[in-house]
Amino acid sequence: MWGRAEEILRVLPFFLIVSFPMLQKDYCLRPMTEDDLDKVMHIELRAFPAPWTVLAYALELRHNKDAFYMVLETKQEGIVGYIGVWCIDEVSQIVRVAVGKEHRRQGWAARLLEKATHIAVGKGAQVVTLEVRESNAAAIAFYESQGFSPIDRIKGFYTNPDEDAICLLKTLSMSS
């Protein structure tokens, strides 16, 4: 009996590390600064058909007092993703989220969204909304996995290429 328990305790850490890749890595979530923009742009240019410019990010960071941008970095790989949220009264809006291609499906975007939601709740938000290209199945699946529901479609919202937007919404609770 004790022999079996000891055996399980011996292999448990190995099992956890293999099953949950995130446990292999130390990471931190912190506010984005202009010094991060080279690395952010490296991800941005590969993640979006119509990427924001470095100037757009710099202006957001300098002047938009309602905006909060966070980066997630690991000890091993540096910045692997980032998120931006605007918090205006009870409504918050996710304006950007991206994870480097080689780092996807490891739970990083979920961590980023959790942090952005926490910030939004702290600023008094009751709902969080966003728009996504209708063809962006990965992002829609991601948001739905995080409790968002589609509420509207905006015709021709996007250009380059022209496309409708799907609007998604999640109602926040104090424990979000």
For ligand COA, the closer of residues 6 and 38 by Cβ is 38
Neighbours of 171 (CB within 10 A): 11
Q: Report how far residue 94's alpha carbon sits from residue 87's, in angstroms, rounded to the nearest whole number.
A: 9
Interface with ligand COA (CB under 6 A): 47-48, 97-99, 104-110, 130, 132, 136, 138-139, 141-142, 145
Q: Are 149 and 166 in contact (CB under 8 A)?
A: no
Question: Do 131 and 157 form a contact (C-beta atoms < 8 A)?
Answer: yes
Q: With respect to ligand COA, which residue has the nearer C-beta, 69 or 108?
A: 108
Q: Which helix (H) or strand (E) holds 92?
A: strand 91-99
Nearer to ligand COA (CB atom), residue 87 or residue 130: 130
